[in-house]
Amino acid sequence: MIEPISKPLKSARPSGLVGPATRMVGAFTEVPRLIRELGGDPGSILFEAGLDLSDLAQPSARVPLGKLVALLNLAATRIGCEHFGLLAGRVWRLSHLGPIGELMRNSPNVGVALEELVVFQHLNSDGAAAFLLKRDETVDLGYTFYAPIKANTVQFYDAVMAAGVNFMRELRGPHWAPQAVFFPHSPPANLEIYRTHFGSAILFDSLICSLRFRSDELNRSIAGACKELYQLTLQRLESAGSGSTTDVVSRVLRSLLLQGHANKDATVQSLAMHQRTLSRRLKNEGTTFQEILDSVRFAVAKELLESSTVSYEEISVSLGYSQVESFLRAFKKWTGTTPGGWRKLRHDLMA
């Protein structure tokens, strides 16, 4: 039963993160051209998203992540192209990642390249992270938001998964295809372009956004990799730092949620840091561990409620709650409404 909203929503952002997330422009330099080719007016669509053509002129520039997410949504709506995000992601190449792409291209094997992407991706974007989930026979290369984003993330996830396939084909060869692709949103009306680009099983209404492939592919060497260039680029990226403690903890917690054990003990173990040290650093940045955990949990819950039909029970488990009632209470505390009320409101707004 969908419950009505009895009062206005609270701020859709628990207070665990400091400032708005930003992202390097990278391949978004290509978005205005794509809009124009599909018959749209890039200037007006960018303006509606709070951007200007000049904002996307330089790949190394940084802009608010939420505005880029909104841009893909607006382009899809204004042009009438529900797979705009996928089309945008199809033009992404490793070179659009800047030094990170250079590091990946010159890594000794695919596994190292993907691990470097996970480690350094925060330099290109905060608020979202790449992840690598390894199992005995398969591995998932994925992407996730850990900061709540106001705009719907469907188009952005489509773009990133399309880009991920391109990255793997640069590392493994032009005919590479994943075993399966997972999307945390409901299926679009037309699946043909998805089948054409991914060439594999496509699963929607998933708890994660990822490409799944065989684990033995991680050991494959990368043709043309230069050891010296890899070392030089690695030193350059390592000198850039890891970001604020708040952002680091947010990234770690999102990764731990994917692994099923997000708590303070696991976090300090991942960071090789004493609990008191972590608490002191977070206090100096004006937040607490629980506030960050709530913020990350809300980011995940928001996406799944808005974009998929995933049940509250599944969402609850994915957020590390032992009982669905705990998730329902927490969500109402964050937003002033129930997950059902939130899902209905967001679906009505997008209708």
Q: pTM of the prediction?
A: 0.91
pLDDT tens per residue, range 261-320: 889 999 999 999 999 999 999 999 999 999 999 999 999 999 999 999 999 999 999 999
Could you report how far apart the first and last alpha carbons of the chain are, in Å? 20
Q: pLDDT at position 15, please?
A: 53
Average pLDDT estimate for 146-158 = 93
Query: Is residue 12 very low, low, confident or very high in pLDDT (cuts 50, 70, 90)?
Result: very low
> Per residue in 218-253, pLDDT tens?
999 999 999 999 999 999 999 998 889 999 999 999
Rounded to a whole number of angstroms, the CA Rg of the chain reads 20
pLDDT at 14: 56
Q: What angle do CA 127, 128, 131 make, to 5 degrees?
A: 145
Distance CA 59, CA 57 (A): 7
**pLDDT attached to residue 157:** 97
In one-letter notation, the amino acid at residue 274 is H
> Over pLDDT 70: what percentage of the chain?
93
Per-residue confidence (pLDDT) for residue 18, from 0 to 100: 52
Query: Taking 70 as the threshold, does the pLDDT of residue 9 lie above it?
Result: no
Residue 1 above 80 pLDDT? no
Asked whether the predicted pLDDT for residue 256 surpasses 80, the reply is yes
The correct CATH number of 245-350 out of 1.10.3720.10, 1.10.10.60, 3.40.605.10, 1.20.1050.10 is 1.10.10.60
The per-residue DSSP string of 34-45 comes to HHHHTT--HHHH
Interatomic CA distance for residues 23 and 319, integer angstroms: 25
C-alpha distances (whole Å) from 107 to each of 22, 186, 206 are 27, 36, 31
Specify the domain boundaries for CATH 1.10.10.60 within the chain. 245-350
Cross-strand partners of 180: 201, 212
pLDDT tens-place string over residues 126-140: 999 999 999 999 999
The upper half-sphere exposure of residue 175, i.e. CA atoms within 13 Å in the direction of its Cβ, equals 0
Give 316's contacts (C-beta < 8 A, 6+ positions apart).
323, 324, 326, 327, 328
Tell me: the pLDDT tens digits for 324-346? 999 999 999 999 999 999 888 77
Q: Are 287 and 18 in contact (CB under 8 A)?
A: yes
